[in-house]
Amino acid sequence: MDHYLEIRVLSDPEFPEGQLLSALFAKLHRRLGQAGEGRVGLSFPHHGVVLGGVVRLHGTEADLQALMADNWLQGMKDYTHSTAILPVPAGVSYRTVRRVQAKSAHNKRKRSIAKGWLSEEEALTRIPDSQQKPLRMPYIELRSLSNGNLMRVYVEHGPEQAHPQLGMFNAYGLSATATVPWF
């Protein structure tokens, strides 16, 4: 992970930043699933309550060139600006950027029934929908390609670390163990 590039969502009067970021992320997710091979990681350098309008892609120069060689940004070029592929500055820290998923009450009930811990009636009374707690972290909304449902990908930036941790990234460019440079 010695190189990076940034893709900035440009302000537009017709589309809010979050909607454009979600569209960009959906295209990037499909591209990473096809060609990322687990070697390209993402970070959101302006994250806070929301993820902000910048996505930073991290990898080797060759991996980033291969990723950007295809025209996967088609349809987003008027709404984004991409930097050149640049070397990571010296003296950076590192952090994980991972997906966080909350277990829904529905899934807890299904698991309890499947494991034989509870009957269907017991599961409905002992695991109410009100038990599910909402996550309070930034997210991107995507439409699932498999079932068409709208889903949220919650993103957490872990604590800064002095040394990188090697590992693989998922098709979202996120990992609970592998770190990306942070600057």
| Catalytic annotation, residues | 29
Q: CB-based burial of residue 7 (10 Å sphere; 0-12 exposed, 13-18 middle, 19+ buried)? A: buried
The amino acid occupying position 29 is H
* CA 58 vs CA 3, 4, 14, 172, 183: distances in Å: 6, 4, 30, 13, 12
The amino acid occupying position 179 is T
Q: How far apart are CA 161 and CA 90, in angstroms?
A: 15
Helix (H, G, I), strand (E, B) or coil at 82: strand
Question: What number of CA atoms fall less than 13 Å from residue 102's CA on the CB side?
Answer: 15
